[in-house]
Structure 1
Amino acid sequence: MKRFTLLTAALALSGLANFAQAKTLETVASFTVIADMVHNVGGDHVHVTALIGPNGDPHVYEPTPTDAQALKKADVVFVSGLHLEGWLDRLITASGYKGQPVVLSDGIMTRSMEEDGKKITDPHAWNSAVNGIVYVRNIIKALQKADPDNAADYKANGEKYIAQLQDMDAYARAQISAIPVAQRKVLTSHDAFGYFGDTYGVTFLSPLGFSTETEASAADVGKLINQIKQEHVSAYFFENSGDPRLVQQIAKASGAHPGGELYVESLSPADGPAATYVTMFRYNVNKLAAAMKGQ
């Protein structure tokens, strides 16, 4: 009887140990693009909560009590950084979260522009697949540090995912390089495609700056309309997370034609055309290429 009891106890302890090892890492991502990246690297070892859901706008987001609860329970918090999530410090204070968020844009060669007389850093780094790979490498390191027992899985998942992003980057270069440089000009709602434009050789014009919180003056809109006419910009796009009315007004005045909707700062719902970072990127490339070709 005693031997049976000891055996039972040993099996029970073994089961508890396996349960402890199998604990899912609770992670929080500021918005859906990052959440998808974390899911691809973490696989079954992580549970990912996106604070901002599909079609959300990170510039004007207002955190909720539910967000504070998710943050408090998190083992790791991931953000893009570069001042995109300006509401995060308040949320961290309200939640009682004691950790330091992992800033995925660390290591990015940033770009900037003048806006209202100030030099501002462009926060939309993930819109270049080259930068997306930097994000993924930062995710791998963070998950390995938080959960060293599964470090090999994070590395394997991450390298497989990076290969997909490298293919995505090559696809974008091939599609856009086939278009004459003079035709690589489009109108969008705000300056969210700067990194994409720098990487793949496309000029983007927009009435707003880097943030959807800004407002375009009548003078700025007038200058943009003249520029669109002079440079023969043929197509305009609105964004899934923004108000399309201003860009439609400019397009009507300038003669630009609708190119459709782009996904910039958030993914689509699961049944939409841009439910993952990879499908979002390829969707945007296809839309932009077709418009610049005049199709």
Structure 2
Amino acid sequence: MRLFFISAVFCLLAGACIAAEPIQITVSIPPQKYFVEKIGGSRVRITVMAPAGGCAETYEPKPQQMTALSQSRIYFAIGFPFEDVWLPRFAAANPRLLICRTDEGIKKLAMDAHRGHEHGDKKDKMLDPHIWLSPPLARVQAKNILKALQSADAASSGTYQRNFEIFVAELAKLDATIRESFKGVKKGSVFLAMHPSWQYFAEEYGLKQMVIEIEGREPKPKEMMEIIQTAKEHRIKIIYTPPQTSLRTVETVAKALDARVAVIDHLSEDWEKTLLLFRDSIVQSSKQSAE
């Protein structure tokens, strides 16, 4: 009888361990890992395809990542060009893989080509994938993540819902904090970025992004002169660049403007810290321009 009791307890414990096993998740970029962990908590184990410090636009998966992907239950896509090429291959390699497009329900903007003046027809432009850099758009992505997790792991649906509600409250607080910080920043203030990462942030908070690079291409000499002239008109004193790009062009523009270079990684997993760092720099730059 005692042996039977011990065996029964062992079976129950083993079943609990199996039920508690985290589900394997794959995401395209580190900020998505931040979002999924906020909602999934200890119920998820995450592989990031395009790590921080890399170039998500030109990414190709490594063999070990493909191995992890073959064991994944969900892939969270966000709209990077590399996904168009690789998602069908991912699905073929793992037929049980649920592909969740976290950008569903978001109206994307054309990739910002503003270099002082608009060039070309925006309808022909690539859509901007940097939707994670706007807290209100992050909420939309979080909702899509919640639905996918609940679909794949119904037993933990309540946990995901509670975590989602906590995260949404955090997003609302962050959004309010940023808006409060920008009350002293002139609406339509222009900032200069090497990579066109911050358009959605700018749209949300009444700023204007001017970019040096577009779709990976550095400016031609005439375009460079236009950038410098326009930046001088707006009294630009800070140029934003991610660590993934070459500093040569940025430093050329910075020297012409007597500006400093601020390196901020838009692909950082520390998502909230990145947004607050960018906010603080914009506020500081606005004060300097007003002096």
Q: TM-score, normalised by structure 2?
A: 0.87
In the TM superposition, what are the counterparts of 1:1-295 in structure 2 within 5 Å?
A: 3-81=1-79, 83=81, 85-89=83-87, 92=90, 96-98=93-95, 99-113=97-111, 118-181=124-187, 184-209=189-214, 211=215, 213-253=216-256, 255-258=257-260, 260-264=262-266, 266-267=267-268, 276-294=270-288
Q: Distance in 2 between matches of 1:218 and 1:90?
A: 40
Q: Distance in 2 between matches of 1:8 and 1:231?
A: 76
Over the aligned positions, Cα root-mean-square deviation in angstroms equals: 2.3
User: Does structure 2 retain, via aligned residues, the 8 Å contact 1:124–1:192?
Assistant: yes
TM-fit CA distance, 1:9? 3.9
TM-fit CA distance, 1:78? 1.1
Alpha-carbon displacement from aligned partner over 1:59-112 (angstroms, at most 9, x marks no partner): 12232101111110111111212536455337526x712224211111112211
Percent sequence identity over matched residues?
Answer: 21
Alpha-carbon displacement from aligned partner over 1:169-219 (angstroms, at most 9, x marks no partner): 11111112211236x22111121111011000111111112x3x3332222
Q: Distance in 2 between matches of 1:40 and 1:282?
A: 18
TM-fit CA distance, 1:146? 0.8
Identify which range, 25-34 or 238-247, moves more after superposition. Answer: 238-247
SS at 1:186's partner residue?
A: strand
Q: Distance in 1 between matches of 2:261 and 2:175?
A: 22
TM-fit CA distance, 1:259? 5.1
* Structure 2: stretches of 5+ with no match in the other structure: 114-119
Q: Distance in 2 between matches of 1:259 and 1:171?
A: 25
SS at 1:77's partner residue?
A: strand
Paired amino acid for 2:285: A
Q: Distance in 2 between matches of 1:169 and 1:235?
A: 23
Residues 114, 192 of structure 1: CA spacing in aligned structure 2 closer, same or farther, 3 A cutoff? closer
Q: Distance in 2 between matches of 1:91 and 1:276?
A: 29
Aligned length: 280
